[in-house]
């Protein structure tokens, strides 16, 4: 095969978990061009994957209307003459699109009543019990591709590194310092550590350990980060809302340690090779834990209610995250940095 399409997943952390899929395909077919079909919000992270040759952006609709919207895209894909398509999650619109594009090999998970449109069906037995990355790899394994390396890898470009170094210098920081990056956000509140705990951690790392703390995040994190900085009693570098995703990845790469709850940026940090300390509560690190190149430490307490992954977004107590103390994090941090 010389022309392969992978239909990507739609969320940042999941895209990081899918990177071994692209590497497995490149290892199996070194001369092939491997393209990713993805929604626009994950384009930047796919561009950091060294085994992706091209990102084709197409935002997906839902159900029947989504299938109809996929028709013009299928004509475009047909013209590109892909030899195979690997769909990493069940999707009516994407399955219909791949079939109507005439791609001869179509591998994916069963999705009644459209499974008959697939030529190779991945085993979905027990997918909720294994790591998300291993779930995605089942799709290429269904076609007989051997998986030699299951780690997640992203590569940071020189331009992004130089750009973030410039932003650090504005705040009087340099890449030569012992930078500890704290990412305070998460895509849902249940996974977030309390602001007061982050503030206490920021202050203690600065005063007791002597590191320079950088608070990262996207535009939606800016207000929370400013509150945390104000409560910390120190002067951390605030880069939340000022970096692109590629610049954030470069920041993580140069960090001594990255501390974050279970979030897309945590997995980006791990994939670029940073040492990471993950704060887990409702989610299970055996299923969504970091799988990157640096050292990895995960903190999680058994609070009974989180013995299975919890998605009760209306939880008023958030006991599982509040059970993680600043002392816990400081102690684990010292082990990780040694």
- What is the residue extent of each domain of the chain? 3-141, 158-337
Angle at 227 between CA 240 and CA 12, to 5 degrees: 35
Contact 277, 258 (CB under 8 A): yes
E strands present in the chain: 3-7, 33-38, 54-57, 84-87, 105-108, 120-121, 179-183, 212-216, 237-238, 257-261, 276-279, 296-299
- Top-tier CATH class for 3-141: alpha beta
Q: Which two tokens stand for residue 186?
A: 């998460």
Cα distances from 18 to residues 21, 125, 137, in angstroms, run 5, 19, 8
Domain made up of 158-337: CATH architecture: 3-Layer(aba) Sandwich (3.40)
SS3 content of the chain, % helix, strand, coil (to 5): 45, 15, 40
Q: What share of the chain in percent tops pLDDT 90?
A: 79
Q: CA-CA distance, 160 to 246, in Å (whole number)?
A: 6
Residue 50's CB is within 10 A of a number of other CB atoms, namely: 12
pLDDT (0 to 100) of residue 138? 98
pTM: 0.94
What are the pLDDT tens digits along the chain (338 aa)?
899 999 999 999 999 999 999 999 999 999 999 999 999 999 999 999 999 999 999 866 555 555 556 667 778 888 899 999 999 999 888 888 899 999 999 999 998 788 999 999 999 999 999 999 999 999 999 999 999 999 999 999 999 999 999 999 999 887 777 999 999 987 778 899 999 999 999 999 999 999 999 999 999 999 999 999 999 999 999 999 999 999 999 999 999 999 999 999 999 999 999 999 999 999 999 999 999 989 999 999 999 888 888 877 788 888 999 999 999 999 999 988 77
DSSP string, 107-159: EE---TTSGGG-SEE---TTGGGS-HHHHHHHHHHTTT-------------HH
pLDDT (0 to 100) of residue 225? 97
């Amino acid at each position: 095969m010389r022309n392969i399409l992978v239909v990507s997943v739609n969320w940042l952390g999941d895209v990081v978990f899918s990177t071994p899929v692209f590497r497995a395909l490149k290892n199996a077919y070194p001369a092939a061009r491997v393209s990713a079909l993805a929604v626009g919000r994950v384009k930047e992270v796919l561009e950091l994957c060294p085994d992706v040759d091209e990102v084709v952006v197409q935002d997906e609709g839902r159900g029947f209307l989504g299938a109809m919207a996929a028709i013009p895209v299928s004509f475009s894909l047909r013209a590109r003459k892909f030899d195979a398509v690997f769909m990493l999650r069940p999707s009516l619109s994407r399955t219909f699109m791949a079939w109507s594009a005439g791609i001869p090999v179509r591998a994916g998970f069963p999705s009644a009543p459209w499974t008959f449109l697939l030529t190779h069906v991945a085993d979905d037995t027990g997918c909720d019990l294994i790591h998300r990355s291993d779930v995605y790899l089942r799709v290429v394994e269904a076609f007989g591709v051997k998986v030699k390396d299951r780690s997640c890898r992203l590569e940071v470009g020189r331009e992004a590194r130089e750009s973030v170094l410039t932003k650090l210098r504005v705040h009087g920081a340099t890449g030569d310092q012992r930078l500890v990056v704290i990412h305070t956000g998460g895509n849902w509140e249940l996974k977030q550590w309390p602001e007061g705990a982050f503030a206490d951690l920021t202050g203690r790392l600065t005063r007791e350990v002597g590191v320079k703390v950088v608070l990262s995040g996207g535009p939606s994190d800016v207000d929370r980060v400013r509150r945390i900085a104000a409560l910390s009693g120190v002067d951390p570098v605030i880069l939340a809302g000022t970096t692109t995703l590629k610049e954030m990845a470069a920041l993580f790469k140069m960090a001594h340690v990255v501390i974050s709850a279970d979030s897309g940026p945590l997995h980006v940090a791990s994939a670029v090779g940073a040492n990471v300390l993950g704060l887990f509560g409702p989610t299970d690190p055996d299923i969504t834990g970091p799988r990157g190149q640096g050292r990895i430490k995960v903190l999680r307490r058994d609070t009974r209610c989180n013995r299975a992954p919890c998605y009760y977004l209306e939880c008023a107590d958030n006991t599982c995250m509040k059970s993680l103390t600043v002392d816990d994090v400081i102690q684990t941090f010292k082990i990780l940095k040694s």
